[in-house]
Amino acid sequence: MWQSIRSTLGHWVRLLGWCSLLLLMISGPYHAQETAVSPDQDVDRLKRATVFITQVESENLTTTCVGTGTLVSYDGLILTNAHHTVLSESCPGDILFIALTLNVGEPPVPKYRAEVVQSDIGLDLALLRITQDFDGRLLERDSLPILPFVPLASELTVGIDDTITMIGYPDIGNSELSSLRGTLTSFVAERSGGEQSWLKVRTVDAESIPGTMSGGGVFSRAGELVGVLTSAPVPSGTSSSDCVVIEDSNIDGFINNNDRCVPLGGFISVARSIESAQPLVQAGSLSLQLNTLTTPTFSVQTQGEPSISTPFFAPAVVNNQPTTVLRSAPAGTDSLFLFFDYRNMTPETVYEVRVTVDGLPNEALSLPPVRWSGGTSGLWYIGTAGQTRPNGRYGYRVFVDGELAAEAPGIEVGGPALEAPQFSNVTFGLLDENGNLGGSGYVLPTGNTATARFIHRNMTAGQSWTSIWSFNGQRITSSQVTGAWQDTGDINAAITNLQPAGGLQPGNYRLELFIDNSLSALGDFIVAGSQVGPLARVFTNIEFRRAESLTAEPVRTPGTNYPDGAHTVYAYFDWEQIEAGTLWTLQWSVDNQVFYRQTVPWSAPPSGEDYTMQLTAPGGLPDGTYKLELLINDVLLAESEVSIGIGQLPIDRFNQSDGVRLRGQIVDVETNEGIEGVAFLLISELFSIEDFVWEENQLYALAITDREGYFEVDRPLEFDSPYSVLVEVDGYLPLGVDGFEISRERLAEEGGNPFELLIELTRD
């Protein structure tokens, strides 16, 4: 691409001196224009960064799955869903074809092949990288043209009722892109991602969003990517499966029901928040690869069909635990969560939550079929926070793989707050000799006694209450204590103890508290590690060792600072007394930007040394300060850092998202009509036009005008940086200027971001 630009523009440099170009630019054809860009220009920019993805089997090149994706970097990174890209039973293809929108308003054109470089099956997110042309020829990253891309929002910048734009392909790639205006109707909280795990979306005219748009982008009014449209197809063979036959996959000469049915998913009403995707994109942009080298000893497998049990409601969540159990809620309630236990779930399990209010479906609070992201077994929650609930009777039904798995008891919202007896806010620890509770709250060491503290309200003397402890899902019958309440204070803390025979063994524990035989509160904790004071010592002795290559042996001496760089770093830690299947979290960050976070069941031996990981990148690890964190139950148990090079990431200015967005229109000075195909080049502030010798690293950005002369630069400009500009198209005199810069003050005076230009060209 660069060579073609150079050959096209080169003759203009030979015809005109740079001084003449500069004079032409200064003489007046180049100025700010408040209304230069049409309302559809932003959408066109987003469409050019949207791709159609086709997963196929290499044996006969038949389609197995399809979806949409969004380019999030200039060098070919694509953010999309995992369910239609990662190899699985429902999507068994091993090639990913990428089709681009070369002309807005036309169907996509197949151009490349891509590979999955990062994925999280549970979150249903995948990051692809373009690696080959359509015919399979390998492409180097620097040989790709500068592709249009959309920056990720640094944080979720949309709120309820905000206007959003949703972009994706409405069918199997035969039509042009769909751009749907809509609103964000609510947030859905989930244990996998907090209060804004999911964005509930709706089009302005209630138009359906087809399943082929899954993986497409949800964009704020500022044009930032804030969510990924998601609808996971229910496994085939269920009553809810949604698929289409599109090819003669069995090569019998007919396209009929005997051919492969390509899963599409149902209509979309939800998007995964961009905050969940940021670690994947961060790792992909830096080409970081993390490999776990410790061989699993235990295979954590499901023991039967997925199941859901004991659903109940809570008004709030603290450390992934319910504060208390609700059977009704007062008028004005703005937070409500459904909790339930689950077993035998997998990352490919599809679950759905249907909510009704007074018997009528409530789409804003429901969750359509999506991938499961919670591990094999445990306690889950889903709900909303900070969103006032209308009065009425709420019903919740949970479906797993298209079949009804559990139906929660209805809960009434409305009326005054009741001063009923209540237990709440269960937390755990160890008592010291002075009777003070210490520890991490939800991770305790092995030992003799666990103590729970909880809040009680409105209890009366003599009222019946019960405490029951469980271990790994089985109630410890000997621990059940039923008695008459004796403390009559309005709001006080109470404690109860667990002293099992043989002591606290590693595993999952629960305390349930009942008032008059009705569940009022519960809390879960994990026992692991040995005791150091009131704390659990689970992970210890984190060490880092450098290696010269991916295959080289690491050096023997550990270190925390490698100023001359490192190609590969090995990380090690010791561990003790962790039961197989215990959920634990491994998190890596660089310069405090998380690029890896996975919560998985523990599969190594209960205790051991030198759990080993390998962190690498094809060209060596980028300079930066890398941090390893080890958690259980979201409790940080160990962390350590290693510094590479200067200890700070280099600035990738191609992918920066903070700065001036530049767009405009280029017109004929006499007719005032837009000119198609004009090249607008921004040269790096390190070079003047005189210094420009057609080296690609001198080019900061390139934009080409559309049929009406509109253009938009995909890379933001830095404030107060002097760029050089070159504008050229056949049939018109070229324009060029040095020292083009925009200050924050000028941006505010000219109407804010994006900065808009009107450029007039004169025929030669």
Q: Count CB neighbours of 392 within 10 A.
A: 17
Contact 193, 276 (CB under 8 A): yes
Q: In one letter, which amino acid is 298? A: F
> For residue 458, which of 480, 487, 430, 496 has the smallest C-alpha distance?
487
Neighbouring-strand partners of residue 243 = 263
Q: Is the pLDDT of residue 50 over 80?
A: yes
**Cα dihedral sign for 40, 42, 48, 51?**
negative
Segment holding 5, helix H or strand E:
helix 2-15
Segment holding 510, helix H or strand E:
strand 507-515
The C-alpha atoms of residue 470 and residue 510 are separated, in whole angstroms, by 5
Q: pLDDT class for 226, splitting at 50, 70, 90?
A: very high
**Which tokens sit at 460?**
């009366």
Q: What is the DSSP string of 243-269?
A: EEE-S-TT-SS--STTS-EEE--S---
Torsion of CA 402, 408, 413, 419, to 10 degrees: -160
DSSP 8-class letter at 622: P
pLDDT at position 236 is 60
Q: pLDDT class for 187, splitting at 50, 70, 90?
A: very high
> For residue 494, which of 449, 441, 453 has the smallest C-alpha distance?
453
pLDDT at position 137 is 93
> For residue 263, which of 79, 53, 54, 66 has the smallest C-alpha distance?
66
Q: Is the pLDDT of residue 23 over 80?
A: no
∠ at Cα 379 (344, 581), nearest 5°? 50
pLDDT at position 310 is 94
Mean pLDDT of 679-704: 80
The C-alpha atoms of residue 678 and residue 12 are separated, in whole angstroms, by 14
Q: Count CB neighbours of 339 within 10 A.
A: 22
Contact 412, 317 (CB under 8 A): no
pLDDT digits (tens, 9 = 90+) for 257-269: 888 888 888 899 9
The C-alpha atoms of residue 337 and residue 194 are separated, in whole angstroms, by 12
pLDDT digits (tens, 9 = 90+) for 607-650: 999 999 999 999 899 999 999 999 999 999 999 999 999 998 87
Mean pLDDT of 221-239: 81
Q: Count CB neighbours of 507 within 10 A.
A: 18
∠ at Cα 114 (47, 294), nearest 5°? 130
Q: Count CB neighbours of 334 within 10 A.
A: 12
Residues 578-599, buried b or exposed e (16+ Cβ, 10 A)? Answer: bbbbbbbbbbbbbeeeebbbeb
Q: Count CB neighbours of 148 within 10 A.
A: 20
In 401-449, the DSSP E strands lie at 403-407, 411-413, 422-431, 437-438, 443-444
Residues 604-626, buried b or exposed e (16+ Cβ, 10 A)? Answer: bebeeeebbbbbbbeebbbbbbb
Contact 673, 710 (CB under 8 A): no
Alpha-carbon radius of gyration of the chain:
29
Q: pLDDT class for 28, splitting at 50, 70, 90?
A: very low
Q: Is the pLDDT of residue 676 over 70?
A: yes
**Which tokens sit at 614?**
């390998």
Contact 647, 740 (CB under 8 A): no
pTM above 0.75, yes or no: yes
Contact 134, 201 (CB under 8 A): no
Contact 217, 289 (CB under 8 A): no
pLDDT at position 32 is 37
pLDDT digits (tens, 9 = 90+) for 330-386: 999 999 999 999 999 988 899 999 999 999 999 989 999 999 988 889 999 999 999
Ordered alpha helix ranges (H), 83-123 = none
**Cα dihedral sign for 318, 319, 320, 324?**
negative
Mean pLDDT of 577-582: 93
pLDDT at position 221 is 87
Mean pLDDT of 225-242: 76
Mean pLDDT of 95-102: 94
Q: pLDDT class for 9, splitting at 50, 70, 90?
A: very low
Q: What is the DSSP string of 156-186?
A: ----TT-EEEEEE-SSSSSSPPEEEEEEEEE
Mean pLDDT of 288-304: 84
- Cα dist from 655 to 8, 704, 715, whole Å: 27, 19, 7
The C-alpha atoms of residue 320 and residue 383 are separated, in whole angstroms, by 12
State the average pLDDT for the chain. 87
Q: Is the pLDDT of residue 37 over 70?
A: no
Question: In percent, how much of the chain has pLDDT > 70?
Answer: 91
Domains of the chain: 2-32+658-761 (2.60.40.1120), 307-413 (2.60.40), 422-532 (2.70.50.30), 538-644 (2.60.40)
Residues 6+ apart with CB under 8 A from 107: 173, 174, 175, 176
The C-alpha atoms of residue 326 and residue 315 are separated, in whole angstroms, by 7
Residues 6+ apart with CB under 8 A from 143: none
* HSE value, Cβ hemisphere, 13 Å, CA-based, for 691: 14
Contact 33, 154 (CB under 8 A): no
Contact 87, 40 (CB under 8 A): no
* HSE value, Cβ hemisphere, 13 Å, CA-based, for 140: 3
